[in-house]
Amino acid sequence: METAVFSTNFMLASLPQDERSALAPLLKEVKIKIGTVLQEDGIEIEHIYFPISGMVSVLIATASGDLIETALIGKEGIVNSFAGVGVRKGFNRTIMQVSGAAYRVDVQAFTKVIQTLPMVRSRIDRYHAFLLVQSQQTAACNLLHTVDTRLCRWLSQVRDRVETNSFDLTQEFIAQMLGVSRPTVNLALSQLKAAKFIHTHRGGSK
């Protein structure tokens, strides 16, 4: 099991052998369907996830109830990592946006073992810094760039994580992630399609 675990998630793969051996027995592979909520605002977090396929969106709810994406997580990272360093309740919503799989570990068990695994803690701290930078970049792009430019960046991020040129994403979903209207997304997609950057089909794009 250990070889498979540490070759499919980049964070796990970067750990030294002794810390891999300590962490591996705690991990359970789970399949996660699209739409599965992995973290909810204000709810106690039970599990930490190391994705090995698919894509996870970190969402913030606005005062009107709309959800806007602030970060994407794939097999390069870890979901609910703040729980491992003492933050026990969610402060955003984290959803599986492209079906996939992950290695899941119980928060309490992970919290105990992390105290004896300095490189795991170091990797988590560095990943938190990465998530902060990603959120800051998203905020800057939302303020300064046109919707078609933001869409290009977002599609590129999705492609990096799902590792395929074809994926199903509805216009409604993309609009929600970018915080714009569906007609605005439709126009941006039409512009990218006319420039031959993408191809679209009913219910998705590639």
Tell me: pLDDT of 195 over 80: yes
Tell me: pLDDT of 1 over 60: no
**Own/partner pairs, 150-155, CB within 8 angstroms, 24+ separation:** 150/178, 151/178, 151/185, 151/188, 151/189, 151/192, 152/192, 152/197, 154/178, 155/198, 155/205
- Confidence band of 4 (pLDDT split at 50, 70, 90): low
Q: Please report the pLDDT score of residue 163 as a whole number.
A: 78
Q: Which residue has the tokens 């806007």?
A: 68
Predicted model pTM: 0.82
Tell me: pLDDT of 143 over 90: no
Q: For residues 78 and 132, which has the higher predicted lDDT (pLDDT)? A: 78
Tell me: pLDDT of 100 over 60: yes
Residue ranges of domains in the chain: 2-135, 144-205
Write down the mean pLDDT value for the chain: 84
- Please give the CATH architecture assigned to the domain spanning 2-135: Sandwich (2.60)
Query: Cα dihedral sign for 128, 133, 134, 135?
Result: positive
The CATH topology of domain 144-205 is: Arc Repressor Mutant, subunit A (1.10.10)
- Confidence band of 5 (pLDDT split at 50, 70, 90): low
Residues 10-68 have pLDDT tens digits of 999 999 989 988 888 999 999 999 889 999 988 999 999 999 999 998 888 777 777 78
- Between CA 149 and CA 123 the distance in angstroms is 31
Those residues whose C-beta lies under 8 Å from the C-beta of residue 178, and which sit 6 or more positions away, are 68, 69, 142, 147, 150, 151, 154, 185
